[in-house]
A and B are shown apart, each in its own frame.
Chain A
Amino acid sequence: MFLDSLAMIALAYIFGFLYYGLYRNISARVHGRFGPSLAQSFFDSIKLFLKENSTNFGWMFYAGPIIMMIGAITTLLFIPYLNGSEHLVGLSQYGNLILVLYLMVLEPLGNAMGIGSNGNPFGVMGITRGLTRLIGLELPFYIAAIGLMIANHSADIGVIMTNQSEGYNAFTHPLLFIGAFISFLGFMGKSPFDVVGAPQEVYSGPATEFSGKFFAIALSQSAIFSFAKLLLMVNLFLGGAQSLVELVAKTFVLFLVAVLVGNVYARFTTAQSVEFLVRVPTGIALVGLLFV
């Protein structure tokens, strides 16, 4: 099981960075340019690991990225990769959807811990924005998750996944899917909900003071976490995957939509994004919940 978990993390790391590279390339194509090589994100993170670190804000600051990393990895371990396979399941038989939803909140908390100790006003503002936005993000997602749990009479991700053999939840419960998907776009940190690290407004938000190795950890964390979120969406709404190829195909479709939406929309302000999230996706998900 240990090896299995390690493989999951390694796969998520590779896919996460590959997808990040793809994100940069696809965006570049939309911009009308070639963009960097696919491996550029790897180079970036390795270079960041090789940088000297000349700043010191105390151990609390460094614990932040590490807690974020732990949050991302544990979230990942409780989500099975494949439908009905014995491999790449990690700890998923011991946990359920409720636990995963809980673990997903660890990221902003780790961020908050790190930022609290460096006292950068932009970081504080960024993390306040992040926590405010989280309220908006969680509502529709939780409602959609509750809807699925009621429909399947189970909170186990594996059960929800296998129950979709007749039709994906995305088609049987379309309203829940739309609600959860909009919230998922926000979780991915793309426009129009990228208020947390908006460089033109709050510099780069929580990452303002992260440098060198810790920025590299934060990058790896976001890569792994993005993949975990993609995985969760595929498992919950697109019926999971029988093989790795299918998994890549399904996650890629979701990912592509997220990238394109992120590219063509402008950023909301914090208040606007929370208002939008509370009104539109939550409303849709609530109506969906009624149909369940």
Chain B
Amino acid sequence: MQFSPDIKGTLSPFLAVKKLFEHPKTICYPEVKKEQIDGYRGFHTNLLADCIGCANCQDVCMNEAIDMVTIAKDVNPKNASGCIPRIDYGRCCWCSLCTDVCPPNSLKLENECIWADDKADNFLYFPKDK
């Protein structure tokens, strides 16, 4: 039984204490928001004036998250089917394949991505028109 104290290993952890005097860099979320980065894959947007209702997005979606539903008034005369995509956020995985295959490039993803709700039936989402 020999006694060989590990002095360095015993004292060096106390270097952590200097963190006590630094100002924390925490993001205090509800009050302070992190600056948004371009190109984050958040909610969908759909420029209705461009959407042609081709259902390519519906076809590529492996989660069957996209429904094509009839639009109340025609915005785009080229929209042959009169349908626009509606996305079930209980299915979507934000892979952005639907935006990749969109022929007129009207379907896009925006930065906004935070949505908490206490009713599960609310998560059917019409992409914002922009």
Asked if A264 CB lies within 8 Å of chain B CBs, one says yes
**Of A30, A32, A260, A265, the contact of B26 (CB 8 Å cutoff):** A32
- B23 to chain A minimum Cβ distance, whole angstroms, is 9
Select from chain A the residue with minimum beta-carbon distance to B22: A32
What chain A residues lie within 8 Å of B16 (beta carbons)?
A: 30, 263-264
Select from chain B the residue with minimum beta-carbon distance to A283: B3
Select from chain A the residue with minimum beta-carbon distance to B16: A264
> Interface majority SS on A: helix, strand, loop or mixed?
helix
The tally of residues in B whose CB lies under 8 Å from a CB in A reads 11
Establish whether residues B20 and A265, one from each chain, have CB atoms under 8 Å apart when the complex forms. no
Establish whether residues A33 and B24, one from each chain, have CB atoms under 8 Å apart when the complex forms. yes
Establish whether residues A33 and B26, one from each chain, have CB atoms under 8 Å apart when the complex forms. yes
Proximity bits, A14-26, B CB within 8 Å = 1, else 0: 0000000000001
- A255 to chain B minimum Cβ distance, whole angstroms, is 14
Establish whether residues A30 and B13, one from each chain, have CB atoms under 8 Å apart when the complex forms. no
What chain B residues lie within 8 Å of A32 (beta carbons)?
A: 19, 22, 24-26
Asked if B95 CB lies within 8 Å of chain A CBs, one says no
Asked if A34 CB lies within 8 Å of chain B CBs, one says yes
Proximity bits, B4-47, A CB within 8 Å = 1, else 0: 00000000011011011010111010000000000000000000
- B66 to chain A minimum Cβ distance, whole angstroms, is 40
Complex formed: what's the CA distance from A247 to B55 in Å? 75
Instruction: List 5 contacting pairs A-B, 8 Å CB cutoff, sorted by A.
Output: A29-B20, A32-B24, A263-B16, A264-B14, A265-B13
In the complex, the 8 A-B pairs of residues with the closest C-beta atoms, listed nearest first: A264-B13, A33-B26, A33-B24, A29-B20, A264-B16, A32-B24, A30-B19, A34-B24
